[in-house]
Structure 1
Amino acid sequence: MKLNLRSIDLNLLPVFDAIMDAGQLSRAADQLGMSQPAISAALQRLRHTLDDDLFVRTRQGMVPTPRARELHQLLAPQLASLRDSLDPGNRFDPANSQRQFRLLSMDYFEMVILPPLLQRIRQQAPDVGLEVTPAGDDMAGTLIKARADLAVDSFAPEDSRLQREVLLEENLVVVARRGHPRIQGRCSKSRFLKAEHVVLPERNRRLPLDLILNAPGWQRRTGARVTQFASMLAVSARSDMIAPVPERLARHYADTLALKVLPFPVTLPPVPVYRLWPSALD
């Protein structure tokens, strides 16, 4: 049966650590700003809790028992780490941090933003790690519950528990394979609506692009639904389907996939891409 931590007064652990470090009750009391009787009483409670003498009084001071040495070897690094974590003066140092950050986003982020971002991270924080996972429909809840550190998305939930900042703005363009039989030179609204489209799946959350492309007079012919932007580019490159995608993404992969990048049939406002984080982190 595992030991129930609620049965242990964790305030006794710093006392144990101080006695191990000082070797005398009086010195340990001075380190902790406690009286010697209070230190003695704490040691007695700890002995009772752990069922071990822990220290033997000798002329040279308090000599730890084998059990005490074993415990101190295990506990000392954990106590030091806890002190560092709670110390207000101990700020995040990117050059020495080994922290793993979790970020919520879409594959647009992985394809466009992540590569140059990782180059900068490696220059300033060589041992920091980054895990990117899909944002999902409960992005706000995941951030608020501290299951992720940050989100990058064109969808920004209205929630007072979240902070948001525009990271960049994207223009919408149309991609079609080079040699497409009907999309030549430009993509008029008529050609846009007559062509088959490869699109992303319906979501519970409505992105700005979804609102634009589902407005009256913009109903498209859906040829395929895929899960990510990368698949939209791949399908458009190997078929006569077209796709509206962010301009940075399209231009980055146009030559590799032999795609034409065409202006959207009408002028549209740029789409903001947000950085989102829990208000509690401010």
Structure 2
Amino acid sequence: MNTGYGRDLDLNLLRVFAVVADTGSVTAAASRLYLTQPAVSAALRRLTATIGAPLFVRRGRGLELTGRGKRLHAALVPHLRAIVDAALSEPQWSPATSDRTLRLGLSDVAELWLLPALLRVLAREAPRMSVVAVPVQFRTVASALAGGLDAAVTVADELPATVRRQPLLCGGFVCLFDPRHTRLRRTLTADEYFALDHVIVSYNGDLRGIVEDVVQRSRTVRCSVSTFASLGALLDGSGLVATVPLLVAAHLRETRKHLATRPLPFELEGTPTELLWPSSADDDAACRFVRDKIVDISQLTISKLASAS
């Protein structure tokens, strides 16, 4: 509290005072405030005691402001009106003029397919807004959201009830490789797949990935990296293969068109990528705007993947 609040004044008393001053009657003020007459009278006594001067005098059946009361009323009414307006008016927000900076938690996959498209949308519709992209994954996203993220896009397990979640997309996996160095048939058998040399993305920093967890069979892993960002460079010009989400394969092939894909010889579905945000940001106009754009981009991405398949 700063010194402006140092006199221990109950601000509710000022509202009672203003209504009594407007109506000139304790009875009428009590009806308007949905209080009893004794409660209104007690409030006026407390306010008078705090200020140290009478605020009303009896005039017939009603009340009239004293000189001290008139000065208080004149100074108080504009502030009360401003407070009510601030509480009840709809906030005005425009993406074209907003200079908000939003903190978005993105998995390495989301950073590939979502962030470039989102920045292009913001450049057109909200050119003064900025984004701080923070790396997250399923193990860290809950604590990152609790730490102040405006939203996150990743896969997630159990989350607190205060986190909202909306599924965005769920694609399968493909085998990505450089056909100039690795020749693969159109339809791979499981034995052919497991005989290849693999590069994997492991958040645990080991040689085990989703294939080992789902298929319960080990690959020959020559390299393990922590993100998908370097896979294109690792596959380009090598005999390695990578098992990646369809989204990642599509993104990498945009810049390395000579890379090719093959269907996997077994079923492997990924966990849905979700849009996550704290419930406290439900009514934040800037956050809602960006969330809507993320949903639009994900739907467009799904359409592109469907037409390419």
Instruction: Pick the TM interval, shorter chain.
Output: 0.5 to 0.7
Question: How far off its partner does 1:155 sit?
Answer: 2.7
Q: Which whole-Å CA distance do the structure 1 matches of 2:6 and 2:194 have between them?
A: 70
- Structure 1 residues 163-208: Cα deviation after superposition (integer angstroms, max 9, x where no partner): 111112222111011223453434321122111211122439xxxx
- Counterpart of 2:201 in structure 1 is 200
Q: Which whole-Å CA distance do the structure 1 matches of 2:135 and 2:149 have between them?
A: 11
Inter-CA distance 86–224: structure 2 relative to 1 (3 Å threshold): farther
- Residue 79 of structure 2 aligns with an amino acid whose one-letter code is L
- Counterpart of 2:131 in structure 1 is 130
Q: Which whole-Å CA distance do the structure 2 matches of 1:214 and 1:25 have between them?
A: 73
- Counterpart of 1:102 in structure 2 is 103
- Counterpart of 2:171 in structure 1 is 170
Q: What's the TM-score once normalised by structure 1's chain length?
A: 0.65
- Counterpart of 2:285 in structure 1 is none
- Residue 240 of structure 1 aligns with an amino acid whose one-letter code is G
Identity %: 26
**Alignment partner of 1:180 is 2:181:** yes
- Counterpart of 2:220 in structure 1 is 221
- Counterpart of 1:158 in structure 2 is 159
Q: Which whole-Å CA distance do the structure 1 matches of 2:222 and 2:101 have between them?
A: 40
Q: Is the 8 A contact 1:164 1:277 kept in 2?
A: yes
- Structure 1 residues 258-280: Cα deviation after superposition (integer angstroms, max 9, x where no partner): 21111122233354211111123
- Counterpart of 2:273 in structure 1 is 273
SS of match in other structure, 1:142: helix
Question: How far off its partner does 1:254 sit?
Answer: 2.0
- Structure 1 residues 140-162: Cα deviation after superposition (integer angstroms, max 9, x where no partner): 022123x2111101234333221
**Alignment partner of 1:144 is 2:146:** yes
Q: Which whole-Å CA distance do the structure 2 matches of 1:106 and 1:231 have between them?
A: 14
Q: Which whole-Å CA distance do the structure 2 matches of 1:11 and 1:30 have between them?
A: 21
Inter-CA distance 156–119: structure 2 relative to 1 (3 Å threshold): farther
- Say which one has the larger Rg: 2
Inter-CA distance 83–215: structure 2 relative to 1 (3 Å threshold): same
Inter-CA distance 86–11: structure 2 relative to 1 (3 Å threshold): farther
- Counterpart of 1:32 in structure 2 is 79
- Counterpart of 1:249 in structure 2 is 248
Q: What's the TM-score once normalised by structure 2's chain length?
A: 0.60
Q: Is the 8 A contact 2:178 2:259 kept in 1?
A: yes
Q: Which whole-Å CA distance do the structure 2 matches of 1:84 and 1:221 have between them?
A: 67
Inter-CA distance 161–198: structure 2 relative to 1 (3 Å threshold): same
- Counterpart of 1:237 in structure 2 is 236
Q: Which whole-Å CA distance do the structure 2 matches of 1:265 and 1:84 have between them?
A: 64
Inter-CA distance 202–228: structure 2 relative to 1 (3 Å threshold): closer
SS of match in other structure, 1:215: helix
Q: Which whole-Å CA distance do the structure 2 matches of 1:216 and 1:249 have between them?
A: 21
Q: Is the 8 A contact 1:105 1:134 kept in 2?
A: yes
SS of match in other structure, 2:158: coil
Q: Which whole-Å CA distance do the structure 2 matches of 1:237 and 1:269 have between them?
A: 25
Uncovered stretches (5+) of structure 2, i.e. residues with no partner: 8-70, 283-309
For this pair of structures, how many residues does the alignment match? 215
Question: How far off its partner does 1:27 sit?
Answer: 5.0
Q: Is the 8 A contact 1:156 1:274 kept in 2?
A: no
